[in-house]
Structure 1
Amino acid sequence: MNEITENKANYGIIAILTIGAILVVSLLYVTIPLLPVLAEAYGVPQSRLVWVGSGFGFAYAFGTIVFGTWSDRARRRNILVGGLFVLVLSSVSVRLSPSVEWLIALRTVQGFIAASFPPVALAYVGDVIAPRLRSVAISIISCGFLLAGVLGQLYASAMEQIVSWKEVFDVLAVCYLIIAVCILRLPAGVVSGDKTSVRTVIGRLFGLFRIAPLLATYAVAVTLLLSFVAMYSGLGTHIADAFGMGGRGLMWIRLAGIPGILMSPLAGQSIKRFGASKVLIAGLSIATAGIAFEALSTTVFALVVSSVIFVAGISITVPGIIVRINQLGGNARGSAVALYSFFVFIGASIGQILSSSLMHHGFRFLGISLAAILCAAAVVAWVSSQATLSMYGGNARKAS
């Protein structure tokens, strides 16, 4: 296979995995704009629907560990395809929920199954993508994960207005079926051949915590969606109070963040040139500056520009941190990426709680607090990179 043909094949794989990433991760966000509609449909207050999102979230976090670890012992393509087929059935079941209790239960199941895609897809990249394109692939797929946060909400809002909330899940089910068929046509990848016991696999998973630079990287990972979710959770109240803008204004500000998210694929080339550690530290520094300026903004224009800088920083950081985790995880990269997904989503869950608590003191206080958290994360990342240099010596460039 010549280089041009190989590049086309690789970018075809990347495109399919990225579209799948957007579609699957959107499930985390589609119920946010649907809560008022669901409350009316089931005749309950919105407070009873909190577990429609939280149940999904906790199950998703747990599922990343299960599927990511499993992917180190099985063919990753099969896990991706099987998970998508089950997700088709799960999505159809959610729209048929006869009561709130069933809705919460089925969303929890859906969250667990959805976790079969993100960590396994990232590990699958290492199986089938040429080494020179892996950092680019991870950057593009990571961009898809972030885009899902905006596109998932936009999609759900539009579908609910055009037809009904049930069709949100119907259309997604059809999309999952199409993506599953497409992935079936991709290279099979490799099987580690690891026949060790489940106890040994779990021991190996916990063994990752003994790698100090990896543990520090997980601590940094917690801050990513923590700050992302906390900022957007507080932004709605802030623009309403400070500028008299409603939900539509918030959605336009979210849309304005898309150019920042599109910085993620560009990080791939920077990683190849400067290394993952330098890129993630730079991304964290940009995000810190963005959220700090956002907190101090007194006009809508300044707020929008600052939010784009903040989102761009997060978008640059994500591929850098994933590449670093892949490198430090070694042969257990599936488990390592699964733990990353777990910690990132734990951060997202904390972010909403943190925003609710700190917004009592105003958006400026929230923004400055998040800037301090991200600044601390940048320091931890730098210290971790120095520790990696000491651990790996001559091979430090490969690990950092």
Structure 2
Amino acid sequence: MKNSLTLLTLYITGFVGFAGFSLLFPVMPLYATEVGASVSQVGLVVAVYSYVAALTLIPFGMFSDKLGRRNFLVAGLIIFTLAPLLYPLTTNPQHLILARAIHGLAAATFIPAAIALVIDLAPAAQRGESLGWYTTSTQLGLMAGPITGGFLLKHLGFEAAFYSCSAISLLGLAFIFFRLGAIPQKPIAEATEDSSWGWLKQRFVFVGLLTPLFIATGSGTIATYIPLYGKGFSITEAGAGLLITAFYASSALLRAPAGRLSDKVGRKPMILSGLALSAIAIAFISQFHSLSQLIPIAIFFGLGMGLAMPSSLALVADLSSAGGRGLSMGVTTCLFQVGLAIGATAMGVVAEMSSFETMFLACASSLAFGLLVIFGLMQAR
């Protein structure tokens, strides 16, 4: 019962943390153009958050194994609260990039510690389901954030969106302080193993590590460029926020049942079907130009993401030691952030050199390539 309540605390905190920073998804590309950024610079403004997170997730995850998950959970929420207050002070793309870099440290501090705590507290036979519920909560946050951000931007402007981002994270910080005593500082099963890299010698673990990389390339492309793509077809800021919300909502609805199913049928079929569905959905984005047509496509992408992500996290958890879970989750979420950065930057270059339609087809091709790589790793086991 105690563990169940603590897991619920982590689910709620995950929702609040992700709702806060995702509120800026429909806001940041438009704010970047407001301060003078080109299309490729917009990609860099969005992606630097992920680049900084990717560079620091692994060491921060490893430190959380040694210094305690709870400390990093609190520190991450503090940065989530303070960093958005820098955005209204920026007046050019360079200053905005610096503010985004600071914000990226929040994700690196918070995410691996939170996921490792969920794994520590969950029974091994229900690991996929527990991770499914945690990622459901984060996806619900990612669902609520963009539509809130689009609404705030349309009716109240950029500053209201930035201050709201900070306020939501402050609520999460207050909630964690209220429940602080229930959150363990050390792993539940105190590890005889240290947080070494030995688990990476298992080839099959790369199935779990690479799946987030390819999935995030798709979600990073959609979250970054749907507002600009939609603008060319008279889709409003609120409409762009609704599209981003649609794929996170469908992903959220599937996460817990998909995680539970992976506990029973295995991780592999969930990962393969999720990657395939995501690749097909992104390819279809390039063929449609209205909000009513794009919403079902966004939903299908979210379903693919919802199938693949809980299983990939659970697979890495299955193959890593109790004392190294902060590190293993740091590596996994690092690769997810790299995927988001690739989606925001590399695909932005494709769009600038050709068109948004070509960019979405290129993104779909990268996911199809990822599907082949993952399938090859499964066969070589």
TM-score normalised by length of structure 1: 0.77
Residue of structure 2 in register with 1:180 after alignment: 173
Aligned residues: 370
Q: Which moved more, 1:274-283 or 1:153-162?
A: 153-162
Q: Which moved more, 1:153-162 or 1:345-354?
A: 153-162
1:88-108 CA deviation, whole Å, 9 max, x = no partner? 34444x157375465543432
Larger Rg: 1
Percent identity over the alignment is 19
Partner Cα separation in structure 2 for residue 159 and residue 12 of structure 1: 29
Equivalent residues in 2 for 1:249-268, closer than 5 Å:
249-261=239-251, 262-268=253-259
Contact in 2 for aligned 1:31/1:53 (Cα 8 Å): yes
Answering whether residue 71 of structure 2 is matched by residue 78 of structure 1, we say yes
Q: Which moved more, 1:112-121 or 1:128-137?
A: 128-137
Residue of structure 1 in register with 2:31 after alignment: 34
Higher relative contact order (CA 8 A, sep 6+): 2
RMSD over aligned Cα, in angstroms?
A: 3.5
Residue of structure 2 in register with 1:152 after alignment: 145
Which among 161, 184, 188 is matched to residue 189 of structure 1?
184
**CA shift in 2, pair 1:102/1:297, >3 Å:** closer
Q: Which moved more, 1:334-343 or 1:279-288?
A: 279-288
Which among 336, 343, 347 is matched to residue 335 of structure 2?
343
Residue of structure 1 in register with 2:52 after alignment: 59
SS in 2 for 1:127: helix
**CA shift in 2, pair 1:112/1:251, >3 Å:** closer
Residue of structure 2 in register with 1:315 after alignment: 306
Contact in 2 for aligned 1:159/1:167 (Cα 8 Å): yes
1:119 counterpart letter in structure 2: P
TM-score normalised by length of structure 2: 0.81
Partner Cα separation in structure 1 for residue 366 and residue 147 of structure 2: 29
Equivalent residues in 2 for 1:1-400, closer than 5 Å:
5=1, 9=5, 12-23=8-19, 25-26=21-22, 29=25, 30-37=27-34, 39=35, 45-47=36-38, 52-92=45-85, 94=86, 97=89, 100=92, 103-184=96-177, 185-186=179-180, 187-189=182-184, 191=186, 204-205=196-197, 207-231=198-222, 233=224, 235=226, 245=235, 247-261=237-251, 262-296=253-287, 301-331=292-322, 332-359=324-351, 360-362=353-355, 365-388=358-381
Partner Cα separation in structure 2 for residue 232 and residue 26 of structure 1: 9
Contact in 1 for aligned 2:75/2:110 (Cα 8 Å): no
Contact in 1 for aligned 2:208/2:312 (Cα 8 Å): yes
1:263-320 CA deviation, whole Å, 9 max, x = no partner? 2232122112212222111211222333344445587655432332122101221111
2:213 counterpart letter in structure 1: V
Partner Cα separation in structure 2 for residue 172 and residue 303 of structure 1: 27
Contact in 2 for aligned 1:31/1:156 (Cα 8 Å): no
Partner Cα separation in structure 2 for residue 276 and residue 123 of structure 1: 19
**CA shift in 2, pair 1:125/1:212, >3 Å:** same
SS in 1 for 2:66: coil
Partner Cα separation in structure 1 for residue 289 and residue 377 of structure 2: 36
